Structure 1
Amino acid sequence: MRAGIAAASIVVLAIGGCTASQDKPAATSSESAKAPTAAASFTPGAEGAGDPYFPTYGNGGYDVAGYDLNLRYDPASGQLDGTATITATATQDLSSFHFDLATLVASKVTVGGQPATSKADGNELVVTPAAGIVKGTGFTVVVDYGGKPAPLTNDALGVGGWLRTKDGAFALGQPESASTWFPVNDHPSDKATFALAMAVPDGVEAISNGVAGERSSAAGWTTWRWSENKPMASYLATVVIGQYRVQSSTHDGKPMVIAIPDSLPADGPAAQSMALTGEIADYLVTLFGPYPFDAYGGVVIDDNRVGYALETQSRPVYGNVFFRERSNPTVVAHELAHQWYGDSVALERWQDIWLNEGFATYAEWLWQEHKGEETTQQAFDRAYRDFDWKTPTGDPGADKIFGDAVYQRGAMAVHALRKTIGDQAFFALLKSWPAEHRDGNATTADFIAAAERASGKDLTSFFRAWLESRTQPARP
């Protein structure tokens, strides 16, 4: 995520680029599940994933493999209705489990095809299956639900999630978002595939993540289909509904979808910036290795509530605040860099967000240098001279995860690492890190270990100074 700029800025929370997990096995139906044994001790899954910064985000007791949503949204009334089919595997002997689901109401829930009991508990949907689920068993949950979705608000981080507009809606935000429009394990440590069928009135567009499927129309409604087949953190799921010019093409043999609001000129700064998506992605491939997803693109939102950009997987979303005066390829470089650093390699805990934002900000510096503008050293020197070092990059606190200590100091730490280990080891690390953790999750400790392997150096004191100290580190 790139924080918004100037007075128009708001940072979203939806509430807003080793031990890594691998691709998850497909869940099996509970009908073929393991039979309970006398040793099984069924207990409820935790109501939170236990993140040190946001302990109630996400849930425990299961691991989601995929979300398949079949939804219908009426812009005139703001009503969202549909069905979520969720495949998962129990990570403990489960007597019940939670999904994150805010403001919407479940009308029917089945587990393994059998009726289950469900109840709302604040922003949680608690599901009790007809029988306990044995650890290691794959199961499928089907939730029929609906209502008028609403955003979530955090006093420190802002407002986001599902936001209604005059001609549609959009769902967007970090660090929590998905729970405002579908039942979900809403924490990046549980990545899953994602499929969406969204029915909207004819003449209204609905853009989401991944590869577009076949559209169909019936009785005045058009169903737009999208699928993201690479594991995705839940906050990276998005849908944008309204009046958009949707441009479909291919780049490097993969589909590219760009969406610009009808309210913006077809040849204006936003469109000019989006047109650079392929060129910028190609440059980043030379730095980070093969592009990690099956589709490219971008969506611009012309809404004053969106003073930020977010690296929604395969198709970043940009507030028009970045394009009001001129083309802005720098923000495009930032969000595309996240496709490697933050999306393909996702966080295990929010404290380590510098692994996302420090590298995406450094990608801005690299792009500017590539285009003959400010060099990375000049960008470092400018930031280093004027910075307030009181907040540590590696532990900024929950209310400062979108602050300068994460973005600017994070980028300075990346540049300082480059100067410390040398260009050869550094640029090899830029490629080996996303390759080794592709489609998974990782931590700061994992990255330190990777940097030490790449350089052959003990970097303990270096990372302590650049990630933990509250005073200015020595210039490398």
Structure 2
Amino acid sequence: MHQQLLLTVFLGLLLQPSVTLAQSIDACAETRLQTNTRRAVVTPQHQQLMSKYDITFYKLELEIERDRTFINGKVTLQANAMQPLDVFAFELHPNMRIDSVFVNDQQVTNISRDDANAKIILSSPIAASSIVKAVIYYNGRTYTRQGGSIGYGFNTAVEPQWGNSVTWSLSEPYSAYEWWPTKQVLSDKADSVHVFVTTSAENKVGSNGTLTRVVDLPDGKRRHEWKSNYPIAYYLVSVAVSDYEEYTLTAHPTGAPAPIPIVNYVYRGGALEAYKEEIDYTPGLIEQFSEQFGLYPFYKEKYGHSMAPIGGGMEHQTMTTQSTFFFTITAHELAHQWFGDNVTCASWEDIWLNEGFASYAEFLALETFNIPAAYEWINGAHQQALSRPNGSLKVSDTTNVNRIFDSALSYKKGASVLHMLRFEINDDAIFFRGLQEYQQRFAGKTAYTSVFKKVMEEVSGLALDYFFEQWFEGEGYPVYTFEWKQEGSRLMLKSTQTPSGNTPFFASNLEFRLVLANGQDKYVRVRQEQPSQEFILDLPASLQALEPDPDSWLLMRVQDILENPELKFMKPAQPVLYPNPTYSQNITIANLTFSATEAAVYNAAGQKMRHYTFSPNLKPVLNTTGLSAGTYIISLTDGRQYYQTTFVKAGDTP
């Protein structure tokens, strides 16, 4: 959709922004949190057996109806043997009865089952590097609990508003085994998947990839044959069955060789009329995200939606399952096609690489069309993250679904941390180029936070160890007290930071809006690298008010802002620094009131360029060779006192 049309329909949505925005991340998280009894389901010994092969292909051939959870199925698991195999292990819920099994076209009758742990005992071992094709015939009514219509791997319900019967899957994180034989290992993506579903002729079936054909069968049945040739994680394989109405759009992102179809399966009975304007945002969002993250990763197939009463959305690859079409839900689930589907977190401890990124995409979508709504969103995200003073992005207990999909941490703190990383890099072109590089380098694969960090370091040229140690490994956030005193044109600003949790200190750039008596606002950016730090600033008029972080970049709590007449200025004699401007020569710092032992040089963007150490009681001398021409900030300290000023590098030679 053209941006002008998207803007027109979006402005109507923003007449009630608080209602719209409140649905966003919480709805996505709620979809998963209803699985709070789910855990990783097989034993470590069984996981070891499954590690002996690499999945290459899934084919699901299922008989499903829209009003029941009974499945009659045949599933093919094709793999490469990484080690010699005398056992082929997989996962399947005990509710499901195995009828027969064939391995490499030979029937095998020796099947061992212990809860979810299923093993095919092979009469003839399979050599390493060989292809293994296991075909499993099975049937049964899928696992549910009374009242548990959401949050199990396979469900059916009558949607209360529109009266449609729907059967759908929702496998994240550990529920695929409830409805098909599988291997629930994030790092082992299949190279491709086929999903063939036979159902009553009046039904439609939503699934992954392209609907290659619909075959008429006897007894009023049809087989819907979906095929996808992109790598896919086990939990993204999906089905949704109902007597849907179909509504198709196209997106035209830059770089796509052909329009991308957007296939929407919507409830009959008025749902399309109710949701059409909201669904119509989707092409414009695909086009926007393709500019920011790189071309939509599944452009050779499609994108789309299948409706199901799941209380939010689930980013099934190429065809999201959604219960509604709020702007931020649609943006969130679409963004998962890049962050979660194309590049999938390699461990559930890194779930923020999926959910934090998709959540931040909600902000990016709003930022494009309505800045006030975007700031409302990011401030709300910060506030929810601040509710967890001891919380960490890193998930320490990956068996706990509640923790994996914690809205305050994996979603909103994840979005806040990305927003801060963008601020730290301080160059949007570089920030988005980093996201694009991450997508390109790990397309169809899985990734850990450590590799995302490495990509962003390479693209930005910054050392980001400290950032990820604080914000991924660390806990909580900084709490600030700001004090100031003005004498003439000089302002002393003292920033004191205490932690909310166990992480002792958060090194960060800080931005302030200084409201001056002459009616002007001055914005300043400084770098805090110790818990208590003083900054000397020059002002053209008296300070009337001090506003930290005016543009809501930082996850932080401000405890107090106060004028403190007891602050004492450092009074070094002039000149403090010479020669200034300088060429490729040493700079000497003289007449400080303390003996500096360390100095750091930052460019105008706040990026650290140099770090120096000095012997006590010696006059600091800094070599500027190799610095490009420009204005720099130099910070000097003895570990207790602090002084900051600027110098100009004029070039390499006079």
TM-score higher than 0.5 here?
yes
- The DSSP-based 3-state class of the residue aligned with 2:33 is coil
1:235-275, CA deviations, whole angstroms, 9 ceiling, x for partnerless residues? 11110111211224544433321011115432113x33222
Distance apart, 1:94 and its partner CA: 1.5
3-state SS in 2 of match to 1:130: strand
- 1:4 and 1:59 map into 2 onto residues whose CA distance is 34
Name the amino acid aligned to 1:290: L
SS of match in other structure, 1:367: helix
SS at 2:152 equivalent: strand
Instruction: Check the 8 A contact 1:191/1:234 in 2, yes or no.
Output: yes
d(CA) in 1 for partners of 2:91, 2:269: 34
SS of corresponding position for 2:61 = strand
If the length of structure 2 is used for normalisation, what is the TM-score? Answer: 0.61
8 Å CA contact 2:197, 2:205 repeated in 1: yes
Structure-1 residue corresponding to 2:201: 202
**Structure 2: which 5+ runs fail to align?**
1-22, 159-164, 253-258, 479-505, 510-654
User: Which residue is 2:296 aligned to?
Assistant: 291
**1:75, distance to aligned residue in structure 2 (A):** 4.7
Which whole-Å CA distance do the structure 2 matches of 1:336 and 1:363 have between them?
Answer: 9
How far, CA to CA, are the matches of 2:97 and 2:280 in structure 1? 40
Alignment match, 1:265: 271
> Which letter maps to 2:347?
R
Equivalent position of 1:301 in the other structure:
307
Residues 464 and 379 (structure 1), Cα distance of their counterparts in 2 relative to 1, 3 Å cut: farther
How many angstroms apart in 1 are the aligned matches of 2:307 and 2:36? 16
Q: Deviation at 1:351?
A: 0.4
Tell me if structure 2 keeps the 8 A contact 1:11–1:307. no
Equivalence for 1:392? 392
**Alpha-carbon shift at residue 151 of structure 1 (Å):** 3.9
Equivalent residue for 2:52, pick from 57, 61, 70: 61
Matched, 1:468 2:473: yes
Relative distance call for 1:121 and 1:105 in structure 2 (3 A) is same
Match of 1:450 among 446, 455, 460: 455
List per-residue Cα deviations over 1:437-464 (Å, max 9, x = no partner): 0011110111111111112222111111
Counterpart position of 1:111: 103
Shift of the 6–244 alpha-carbon distance from structure 1 to 2, 3 Å rule, reads closer
- Corresponding position: 1:191 with 2:195: no
Instruction: Give the equivalent residue in structure 1 for 2:132.
Output: 139
Describe the superposition over 1:2-28 as per-residue Cα deviations: whole angstroms up to 9, x where unpaired: 754499876244989xxxxxxxxxxxx
Mapped partners of 2:44, 2:414: distance in 1: 35
> How many Å separate the matches in 2 of 1:354 and 1:258?
28
1:87 match: 78
Structure-2 separation of matches of 1:455 and 1:380: 24
Deviation at 1:417, TM superposition (A): 0.7
In 1, Cα distance between the equivalents of 2:29 and 2:123? 53
Evaluate the alpha carbon distance shift between residue 99 and residue 3 of structure 1 in structure 2; reply closer, same or farther with a 3 A threshold. farther
Deviations 1:219-249 (A, max 9, x none): 2101111112101111111101112112245
Tell me which residue corresponds to 1:336. 334
RMSD of aligned residue pairs (Cα, Å): 2.8
Contact 2:66/2:203 (<8 A) preserved:
no
1:256 has 2:262 as partner: yes
**1:3·1:11 contact (CA, 8 Å) conserved in 2?**
no
SS at match of 1:66: strand
Residue 402 in structure 1 maps to residue 405 in structure 2: yes
Task: Name the residue aligned to 2:536.
Answer: none
Structure showing greater radius of gyration is 2
Residue 633 (structure 2) aligns with: none
1:371 and 1:468, CA in 2 relative to 1: closer, same or farther beyond 3 A? same
Alpha-carbon distance in structure 1 between the residues aligned to 2:354 and 2:229 = 21
CA displacement at 1:347 relative to structure 2: 1.6
TM-superposed deviation, 1:163? 0.5
Structure 2 counterpart of 1:366, from 327, 351, 364: 364
Unpaired stretches in structure 1, ≥5 consecutive residues: 17-43, 50-57
1:178, CA displacement in angstroms?
1.9
The alignment of Structure 1 onto Structure 2 pairs a total of residues equal to: 429
Q: Which residue of 2 aligns with 1:416?
A: 420
Equivalent position SS for 2:213: coil
Contact kept? 1:208, 1:315, Cα under 8 Å: yes
More strand by share: 2
Name the counterpart of 2:319.
315
Counterpart CA distance in 2 for 1:393 and 1:436 is: 23
State the alpha-carbon separation in 2 of the partners of residues 207 and 114 from structure 1: 33
The alpha-carbon deviation at position 204 of structure 1 amounts to 1.5
Report the CA distance shift for 1:8/1:250 in structure 2 as closer, same or farther (over 3 A).
closer
| Contact 2:111 2:119 (C-alpha < 8 Å) held by counterparts | yes
C-alpha displacement of 1:365: 0.5
Identity %: 26
CA distance in 2, matches of 1:429, 1:289: 11
**Matches of residues 153-172 of structure 1 in structure 2 within 5 Å?**
159-166=151-158, 167-172=165-170
**Superposition map of 1:172-183 within 5 A:** 172-183=170-181
Which residue in 1 is equivalent to 2:242? 242
Query: Using the alignment, how far apart are the partners of 1:376 and 1:472 within structure 2?
Result: 22
Mapped to 1, the partners of 2:29 and 2:452 lie a distance apart of: 35
Note closer, same or farther for the CA distance 1:433–1:9 as it changes in structure 2 (3 Å cut): closer
Distance 1:377 1:435 in 2: 30
Q: Deviations over 1:272-308 (max 9, x none)?
A: 32222111111000000111113333335352xx122
- For residues 13 and 80 of structure 1, the distance between their equivalents in structure 2, rounded to whole angstroms, comes to 21
User: Which amino acid is the alignment partner of residue 198 of structure 1?
Assistant: V
**Structure 2 contact 65–167 (Cα < 8 Å) conserved:** no
